[in-house]
Each structure stands twice: as structure tokens, then as C-alpha cells.
Amino acid sequence: MFQLGEINNAFEMLSHKLISWGQDFIVMLPNLLIAAILFVAALYVARFARRVVTNMFHRVSPSVALRDLVATMTYVVVLLMGLFFVLEVLNLQKTVTSLLAGVGIIGLALGFAFQDIAANFISGIILVLQRPFTVGDIIKTNDYTGLVERVSLRTTDLRQVTGELVRVPNRKVFENPLINFTINTQRRVDLDCGVAYDSNLDQVRAVVLAALENLPNMAPNRQPEVMFTEFSDSSINFQVRFWVPYQKQLDYVGAKSEAIMRIKRAFDAEGIVIPFPIRTLDVPESVLSRLAASSKEKKTAPQ
């Protein structure tokens, strides 16, 4: 009888609990209906916001990666706002507070754990918005020079002139100096050379300028220049400067190579000498005497 009484008490407690839950459910039914409507509305609003951002973002930046990121973030933010409203309607304020606290703690932990990734990520967003270069430009950064093939939210991909693909972290691109060779559409070629000390410098200048006449791909709005720069050990050095339209690295190296060939041919025709480096060795007489004696002994030695 004692065990049967315990079972009856257990059933009574269970029935009271179920009845209480049923009554609470009936009381909460209007709130549940409103919460469901709010959640569905939040889904539609989030999708609409994502679609609007996707359609309008191309006016700000052509980056597909950044567009998708901003659209996804907009979708998540709108959906979270709708979720918080739903929890408020269901009188779950403590749950909202716990969620916000949890999100803050998780965000702080992830920020410390992935600070390098976050720095590259933020730098990539700034680079895409500021657009110091675009895909197809030739740039130099962090001692790498190449064609920009892709700008992602983590790295900038450079194809070097020798063919290697270099992925430079966006943080390093953002923090360090950057040269964009393509942005001005022209680039100056600096060519260093030297002539013998007995050369007529006026003649040298005239011969160089004549050799560069009608040089292919030379910029028509800029005249070449010949500037003598220094008295070197065995030559008087000068620098030839001229501009070429620049779209690819071959424009630069091709024009420089052609200029070298023309100047060399012109100097040969005019008898202008490009001297070899001269070095003078001061050898003590005692060393010369020993070398001479050693050479004499080798010659007189029987074969």
C-alpha cells in the first residue's frame, strides 16, 4: 500500500505539472503567434536587405568578396535583431542578456586568438574601399614587384615578372610603402653609362640624343635628357632619362634594351670609348724580386 501511494502521488504531481504547462502554453499562445510572425518577418526583411546591399554595393567597390561579406553581415545583423524582438515578446529577457554577454565574450576571445587574421581582414576591407590599386595594375610592395591578380579579404596576390605567384598579407600591404607603376600610364627609364676622360662631352650628349631619336614607344610629350653625374675612377658617368608609355613590364625593359643597343652602336661609329674599370696594384719590390727569381729558376731547371 505504501508503494502504491507513492505511485499515486507521483502521478498526481505529474498531472498537476502537465496541467500547469498546458495553462501556461494557452496563456503564452498569443505571444507565441506574435513571435512566429516576427521571426518570419525578420527572415523576409533580412533577405530583402541582403538583396538591396548586393545590388547597390557595386557602386562603392567592384570587389565580389567584399560585396558578399557586407551582404552576409547585413543579413545576420537584421536576423539577430529580429531574434532579440522574438525573445522579448516571449518574456525571455534573461536569455537575451545571456546571449549578448556570450557574444561579447566569444568575440573578445576570438579577437585575441585571431588578431593577425582580423588585421589582414580589416586591412583588406580598407584596401578595397580606398582602391590604391586594382586588379591588373603593376605594383611594388614589401620588396615584391608584380601584376595584381586578385585582392581578397586576407591577401593580395601578385604575379611577379619571373612567373611566381606571391600572396602578400593585406596588413603588410596596408602598413608599408606601395608603388603603383600603372596609375600614371608612363614610366621614366634611367640608363647609367660612362665615357673616357678624353671624350668631348658636348659630342657625347649630341650622339646620345641623336641615337634616341625615333625610339619606339617613347612618350611624345617628354624629351630625353642626358645628365652628367660624376667623375668616376676611370670614366665620366652620365645618366640618360626618357619616358615610355607603361602598361606592362615589357614596355619598360624593352625600351631600355633598345636604348642601350642604339647608344652602343652610335658610340662605336663615332669612336667614343666606354672604358673598362681600371685598377692599379701596388706590389712591393721584394715580392717582385722573389717572383722574378722563381720564374728564372723554372726556366733554367732541366726538363
Residue 44 pLDDT grade (very low, low, confident, very high; cuts 50, 70, 90): confident
pLDDT digits (tens, 9 = 90+) for 175-216: 899 989 888 888 899 999 999 999 999 999 999 999 999 888
Residue 70 pLDDT grade (very low, low, confident, very high; cuts 50, 70, 90): confident
How big is the chain by its Cα radius of gyration, in Å?
39
**Which residues have a Cβ under 8 Å from the Cβ of 123 and sit 6 or more positions away?**
169, 170, 171, 173, 174, 175
Whole-angstrom CA distances from 75 to 45, 68, 132, 152, 293 are 8, 10, 29, 21, 94
Q: What's the pLDDT at 1?
A: 45
All structural domains of the chain: 2-113 (no CATH), 133-180 (2.30.30.60), 186-270 (3.30.70.100)
Q: What's the pLDDT at 22?
A: 61
Task: Say what the pTM is.
Answer: 0.58
Whole-number Å distance between alpha carbons of 56 and 45 = 16
Whole-number Å distance between alpha carbons of 246 and 248 = 6
Whole-number Å distance between alpha carbons of 211 and 216 = 12
Q: What's the pLDDT at 242?
A: 94
Q: Which of 186, 263, 191, 258 is nearest to 222 (CA)?
A: 186
Q: Which of 159, 157, 179 is nearest to 170 (CA)?
A: 157
H or E element that contains 62: none
Q: Which of 213, 194, 191 is nearest to 272 (CA)?
A: 194
Please check the confidence at residue 57 and state whether its pLDDT lies above 80. Answer: no
Whole-number Å distance between alpha carbons of 129 and 69 = 13
Q: What average pLDDT does range 71-75 have in this prediction?
A: 80
Q: Residue 290 half-sphere exposure, CB side, CA atoms within 13 Å?
A: 4
Whole-number Å distance between alpha carbons of 146 and 156 = 11
Q: Is 127 exposed, middle or buried (0-12, 13-18, 19+ CB in 10 A)?
A: buried
CA torsion sign for 177, 181, 187, 192 is positive
Q: Which residue has the higher pLDDT, 302 or 144?
A: 144
Q: What's the pLDDT at 263?
A: 95
Q: What's the grid cell of residue 252?
A: 619598360
Q: Which residue has the higher pLDDT, 293 or 243?
A: 243
Q: What's the pLDDT at 230?
A: 93
Buried-state track 2-34, b at ≥16 Cβ within 10 A, e below 16: eeeeeeeeeeeeeeeeeeeeeeeeeeeeeeeee
Q: Which residue has the higher pLDDT, 168 or 7?
A: 168
Q: Are 236 and 194 in contact (CB under 8 A)?
A: yes
Q: What average pLDDT does range 155-180 have in this prediction?
A: 90
Determine the number of helices (DSSP H) and then strands (DSSP E) in the chain. 8, 8
**Which residues have a Cβ under 8 Å from the Cβ of 231 and sit 6 or more positions away?**
237
CA 273 to chain centre: 45
- The gap between the terminal CA atoms of the chain, to the nearest Å, is 134
| 16-25, 82-91, 234-243, range with the lowest pLDDT | 16-25
Q: Which of 180, 207, 167, 192 is nearest to 256 (CA)?
A: 192
